[in-house]
Amino acid sequence: MTAAPYVRLKGIAKRWNGQLGVEDISLDIEEGAFVALLGPSGCGKSTTLRLLAGLELPDEGTIHIDGRDVTTSAASDRNLSMVFQSYALFPHLSVAENVVFGLKVRRVPRAERQEKMARALEITGLTGLEARKPAELSGGQRQRVALARAIIAGQRLCLMDEPLSNLDAKLRNAVRKDIKKLQRDLGITVVYVTHDQTEAMSMADKVVLMKEGRIQQIGSPDDLYNRPANTFVAEFIGAPPMALMPSAQVAGFDENLTLGLRAEHVRVVPRGQGRLSCTVSEAEFLGSETLIGLDCAEASGLSVLLPGLRVMPEGEHVDVTFDDENLHRFDPSGQRIG
C-alpha cells in the first residue's frame, strides 16, 4: 500500500467577489521534497501558498498536512514555518532576538533557546552577528536571519514566498544554493513560490507551473523542459523559450499542428541547404556560446546557439535546419501530442 503524501491539496478553489483566484488545484507533495510553484504574476501561485499556510481559506476543496485535514485550521495549528519576500524582521531587535522570537513567545526554556539558536546561526553562516540589528546587515544576511528563524521553529514543512526577489543577481545565486543545501541537510519539505524559472529549475525536485489560476503542468524540471504539456509551458520554460511554428510551414507535415523547437536543436547550414531561411535579428554572447536570434516568416521566436563568440551582423541571411526527432508536436488546442 502506497503511503499518503505529506501534503495533499485536492480540488482547491478560491474566488474573490466572483473573480478567480485559483481553480481546481490538486497537488501531492512527498515528505522531504522541494516543490516550486512557478508562473507569471497573477497566476495564483502566492494564493495557493497562502491557502496552504492557512492565511486564506478555500471556497472549495480540502488540504491535508501529515494525514490531518487542516482545510479550516488556523495558520498556527498547521505546524509549518514561513519565509517571506520582505524578511519580516523586527528592526529594533538584534539578530539573536529575531531568530528566537517565536521560541520566546512559546515559552521555550532559555537554555534550549540558546542551543537551538547557536545551531541555526551556524547552519546559516550568521555566527558572530548575533548582536547586530537588521539595519546593519546586507540583504543576503537579512534573508539568512529569516531562514534561521524558520529553521529554529523545527517544523517539517517550510513555505517560502519569493524570498530572493529583493536581492541582486549575485546574492540570489548564493542564497539559492544556501536554501537548497539547508533543505537537503535538514530533510524538510519546502514549497517555494517564484516567478523566476532559473530558481525553480535549479532548486526544485518538482515544479508546478501555473497560469490564470490553474495548474498547467506538474513534473521534474526535465519533464517541463523536454516534454512540455502544452504551448504555454513550451514558451514559458527555457531561455531562450521554445520556438513555435505551424506544421504547414515545414516540409513533410500535412497535419494542422503546432511544432516546437529548442535553440540547441537548430543548425546553421550553407545557403540553399536549409529547411528555413531567416535573417539575424540579434546576437548575444553568453561566454561559452553565442545566442543568435532569428526572424523567420515560418517560425516565432526561433534562435540558434553557436559555440564560442560568433559575430553575425543584424540583417544577415542564414539558412537553418533541424531533425524531425527534435520537434515537439502540439494539437490545435495547444496540448502536447505523444
CATH number of the domain to which 302 belongs = 2.40.50.140
2 located within any domain: no
12 located within any domain: yes
Which of 186, 203, 234 terminates a domain? The answer is 234
More confident residue, 255 or 277: 277
- Tell whether 88 and 228 lie within a shared domain: yes
Report d(CA 207, CA 201) in Å as an integer.
7
pLDDT at 298 > cutoff 90: no
Which of 216, 234, 252 terminates a domain? The answer is 234
Closest-CA residue to 225 (of 197, 199, 266): 197
Mean pLDDT along residues 263-281: 93
pLDDT at 170 > cutoff 90: no
Closest-CA residue to 298 (of 337, 334, 335, 266): 266
Can you give the CATH number for the domain in which 56 is found? 3.40.50.300
338 located within any domain: no
- Tell whether 126 and 216 lie within a shared domain: yes
337 located within any domain: no
Which of 192, 219, 234 terminates a domain? The answer is 234
262 near 223, Cβ under 8 Å? no
pLDDT at 157: 95
Strands 189-194 and 34-38, bridge-based pairing: parallel
Residues in the chain, total: 338
pLDDT at 26: 98
- Tell whether 212 and 245 lie within a shared domain: no
pLDDT at 2: 59
What does the pLDDT look like over 95-109, one tens digit per residue? 999 888 888 888 888
- Tell whether 250 and 133 lie within a shared domain: no
Confidence label for 337 from pLDDT (cuts 50, 70 and 90): very high
Strands of the chain, DSSP E? 7-16, 19-29, 34-38, 60-65, 68-69, 80-83, 157-161, 189-194, 206-211, 214-219, 243-246, 258-261, 267-269, 276-285, 289-295, 303-307, 317-321, 328-330
Cell numbers 496552504: residue: 52
pLDDT at 235: 95
- Tell whether 37 and 176 lie within a shared domain: yes
293 near 282, Cβ under 8 Å? yes
Q: Phi/psi class of residue 87: alpha, beta or left (left: φ > 0; alpha: ψ in -120 to 50)?
A: left
Mean pLDDT along residues 61-71: 97
- Tell whether 104 and 217 lie within a shared domain: yes
Range of the domain at 320: 240-330
One-letter amino acid of 14? K
Residue 144 C-alpha cell reads as 539568512
pLDDT at 1 > cutoff 70: no
What does the pLDDT look like over 309-323, one tens digit per residue? 988 899 999 999 999
Number of domains, the chain: 2
Strands of 184-242, DSSP E? 189-194, 206-211, 214-219
46 near 237, Cβ under 8 Å? no
- Tell whether 177 and 264 lie within a shared domain: no
- Tell whether 195 and 247 lie within a shared domain: no
pLDDT at 151 > cutoff 60: yes
1 located within any domain: no
Closest-CA residue to 206 (of 83, 215, 270): 215
Closest-CA residue to 279 (of 257, 304, 305): 304
* Burial label, 83 (beta-carbon count in 10 A; 0-12, 13-18, 19+): buried
pLDDT at 153: 82
Cis previous bond, 240, omega within 30: yes
Report d(CA 265, CA 43) in Å as an integer.
30
Mean pLDDT along residues 107-116: 88
- Tell whether 204 and 303 lie within a shared domain: no
188 located within any domain: yes
- Tell whether 151 and 263 lie within a shared domain: no
83 near 123, Cβ under 8 Å? no
Closest-CA residue to 116 (of 134, 131, 103): 103
91 located within any domain: yes
189: three-class secondary structure by DSSP: strand
Report d(CA 263, CA 167) in Å as an integer.
30
- Tell whether 262 and 208 lie within a shared domain: no
- Tell whether 123 and 266 lie within a shared domain: no
335 located within any domain: no
